Each structure stands twice: as structure tokens, then as C-alpha cells.
Amino acid sequence: MSRSLLRLFLALLLLSVSFPATAAAARPNILWILVDDMSANFSTYGETHIRTPHVDQLAREGTKFTHAYTTAPVCSPCRSALITGMYQTSIGAHHHRSGRGTEKIVLPAGVELVPALFKKAGYYTAIGGWPAKRSALGKTDYNFEWDSAIYDGNDWSGRGKDQPFFMQIQLPGGKLRRPAWKDQALKALGSLTSPESVELPPYYPRDSVLLDDWAQYLDTCRFTDLQVGQVVERLKEEGLYDSTVLIFLTDHGISHARGKQFLYDEGIHIPLVIRGPGVKAGLERTDLVEQIDVAATSLALAGIERPKTMQARDLLATDYAPRDAVFAARDRCDETVERLRSVRTSDFKYIRNGFPHRPHLQPNRYKDGKEIVQQLRSLHQAGQLTGLPEKLLFAPNRPAEELYDLRNDPFETRNLAGDPASATRLTELRAKLDRWIIETNDLGQRPESVAQYDSDMKVYVGPEGGKNARQQQILRSNIELMKQWAAEGK
């Protein structure tokens, strides 16, 4: 081999072996801390009943978004949206826990999962709980077919030398509150939040069961904050803190009668804090952003080009164009058929109810299994609910449209859809939602096929669903009611 050819060969070899490692070492690690069932009840967001110093510290060191909203108020649709940077309604992943039976859901062409894009770029990809236990991956809950090989492991410790990592730490958050939670919380936190000190939204009665539950929920926020501090401490101990972009967010709001599964702010408003290299410190952003934007932002921070089909936006881009509205959708949750759509601006929210002849609290085994919902139903049946709790939670049907002035009515209790003075605003937001439905190809506008529904329900009711005999009986009854109401056009 001539000397010139040898030099060329060595140069090519150097490029193929050394360049990716060098480039990878220069790129930041990307770490998501994604929390279940939790609203923005952190002191940096104005919560006064508890202190959350670790999340507060991240906010001081990074950028805090005060108006971040999920695109779906329940786990699997919003997680399917986040991991693709796409509206769940655009990719057929809008029904909660769908595609789990014989009828599968396949992503549209051109849609790629964020971890797969990181892996292609040389990142080590991981998803796990905290602390990482066993070899199992953390919560995914995607409503489509996907390859688990997109994840290399459940902890960043498995990465190669100088290899950057993309990791998701999945925290249970609000799901922790249960009968045994108090003992765990007291041991970890040293004290418990007093139920008597709790302030509830005006549409919940000041009942002892609800107060105790909300106090437990606030302690799950404190516990989540403690876990965030542990993550930060580990990053610092391993010398990774300054080279890691840490993104803290929740999947959707608190699980309650008007929160999780619904499009009021209690269900869709989430905390979002981004801290690390390339992110401005001490900045508070008040513009409207969507949870899916975390996908595009993460890729951009790592220098990875996002798919042209991706609907998410890079929140930190120099040419970022702020959204004038955010959109959300709720469709079938478990066995309960539903179709809700909303558009929220800085001042107003418009909600469209696809099944207005059904009650707000439709029968649902999951929701009806919660003590707080059971207590609300018990109070209603005993005639002990009055005012807003009775009006908003137990009306036999709902208006086809809801319009709320968020500045003057932040709890969304006064529907202005029938107010002549608000007719112009109603028309404007109605048209904005219609455009979004068309432009994003909202697949939820078509009823779910009987084959798909039955396929998913077999998983719920069957032995693989993990339900006991009583739970299966409730599910079967609710399924029959859904089919009856559909046949009646209700």
C-alpha cells in the first residue's frame, strides 16, 4: 500500500472510530423526571401548604414554565404523545390503554419514538424507576406497537465510557396515596400535612374523606420533591450535574373527580422545569406550551434533528414562535366511552362534549374504585351535596359546549357558552378548535370500531387484566351500559 493510501485509510479509520465518541462527549445528557398523577402543587408554583425545596432549586437554576399543559389528561395517551412529539389523536393513540388486545395499533409512517432517535445518535437510552430496581424497564404505557430495544437499560450506569445518556426516571407521584401511604410518608418526611389545613377547589365539599385524601396528595408532592433531590445528589456525586439537562414534569393533573381524565385545568395543567447546559437560569416563561414540546426541545438540546412530521416545537429555539393556544383531548378511558376536546388561550377555555347526554361522572371501574369518588357519590345519593359540587359533578347531562373566562373564573365554574356577551369569543374558539381538528387529522372524531373496543375489553375483563371477580363484574356491567347508550344514540 502506498504511503498516501495508507494515510487516507488511517484518516478514514480515525473518523469512523473517534469522531462519534468525541461528538458524543460534547453533547449533554438528557434526563426526564416524569411524575404520575400530579398537578403543579409545588411551592415554586404558588402552593403554600407545603415546601418543595428541590424542585424550587431546579426552577431557580433553570427555566420554569408556568403555563404548560398536557395534550391528554390520562396516562397512556399523553405518554404516547410525549414519546413521539405528536398529538395522540393524530397517531391513533387517543383511547386509554388501547391496542393491548388482538387489534393492534401501528404508528403512521414517519413517526419515530424519541428514545429511538437518541439511540441512533449514539446516546445510551434508559427508562427506570427511582431508585432503579431489578432489570425491569420503567413505565412506558404506549398505545401502539413498539420495540423495547429502543431502551438499552433502566439506569444510566450501563452506558459506555464518554457516552451521553437519555434517560427517563418514572416516579409514582400522586398514585402513592392509599391506606398504607401515611406510614411510608411519615417515615420519609418526618411529618404529615394536616387535613384541616387543606384548601379544596370550590367544586369539592369540605368533607373529611376528601380533606384527608388531599393532605395525602400534598405529601406525595413532598415525597416527589425528596426524590428529585436524591436524583440531583447522585448526578453531583458522579460529576454529571453540570453536563446534564434535567427536565421535570408530570404526565397530567391530580387524580380526582374533575382532574385526571378531564380537560379542566385541574386535569391538564402541569409543572415543567428545564435546567442544565444551554438553558437560561432564573427565567420564568408565562407563554402557553404543550407537553409534547419536551420531545422537540430535548432533541434540539442534543443536536438531533427531529422528524419533519413531529408536531412538537423546540421551546428554546432562537426563532421559537409562541403558541397562541394549547389543545387537549380525552377519549375512551378503560371501558368508559368519551370524547372531549378543548382549546385554551391565556384568557379563555372552550370545551366540546361529544356525548352531552351523559353525566360528568360516567360509570368507570377505575374512578369509582377511589374512596373520594365513592364518598362523593354517597353524599349525592344522601342528598347532602349542594351548590357547585352537586351542580358540576352530578348533573344528569352536560352542555354540548363550555366556555370559561379563566382570569375571572380560574376554577372553571361559570359556563359562558350561553351568554350573549360571550358569543364572539365562543365563535372564535369554536373555529380555532375546528381548524386544529382538521389540520392535525384528529382520528378521534370517528367512533372507535366495535372490533377495537371488544379487543381491548377482553384484556380488561380477562384473567390477564388482573381484576378480581367483583371488579370483572363491574367492568362487564359498564361495558354493556356503554353499548346500550351507543345504541340509544346517547
In tens, the pLDDT along 274-291 reads 999 999 999 999 999 999
Nearest to 259 by CA among 195, 193, 326, 210: 210
What does the pLDDT average to over 411-430? 98
Mean pLDDT across 314-331: 97
Q: Report the chain's mean pLDDT, rounded to a whole number.
A: 94
- Whether the pLDDT of residue 7 is over 50: the answer is no
Q: Which CA distances in Å does 20 have to 13, 15, 25, 30, 162?
A: 12, 8, 8, 17, 10
CATH topology of domain 25-317: Alkaline Phosphatase, subunit A (3.40.720)
pLDDT computed for residue 485 by the predictor: 97
Is residue 2 over pLDDT 70? no
pLDDT of residue 10: 41
Q: Is 476 exposed, middle or buried (0-12, 13-18, 19+ CB in 10 A)?
A: middle
pLDDT of residue 14: 38
B/e letters for 349-374, b = 16+ CB within 10 Å, e = fewer, are bbbbbbbeebeebbbbbbbeebebbe
Backbone angles phi, psi at 128, to 5 degrees: -155, 180
Beta-bridge mates of residue 274: 63, 247
- Residue 21: strand, helix, or coil: helix
DSSP state of 302: T
- Model confidence band, residue 19 (pLDDT cutoffs 50, 70, 90): very low
Q: What percent of the chain has pLDDT above 70?
A: 95
Q: Is the pLDDT reported for residue 270 higher than 50? A: yes
Mean pLDDT of 399-407: 98
CB atoms within 10 A of CB 34: 23
Q: What is the pLDDT of residue 60?
A: 98
Determine the pLDDT at residue 15. Answer: 38
**Residue range 8-30: mean pLDDT, rounded:** 51
pLDDT at 337: 98
Average pLDDT over every residue of 64-70: 98
Residues 292, 85: contact at Cβ < 8 Å?
Answer: yes
Band the pLDDT of 11: cuts 50, 70, 90.
Answer: very low
pLDDT score recorded for residue 133: 72
Q: Are 390 and 377 in contact (CB under 8 A)?
A: no
Assess whether pLDDT exceeds 70 at residue 12. no
Q: Show the CA angle centred on residue 312, arms to residues 307 and 316, nearest 5°.
A: 105
For the chain, the domains span: 25-317
pLDDT at residue 135 in the model? 73
% the chain with pLDDT above 90: 91
* Residues 127/142, Cβ–Cβ less than 8 Å: no
pLDDT digits over 96-139, tens only? Answer: 999 999 999 999 999 999 999 999 999 999 999 998 777 789 99
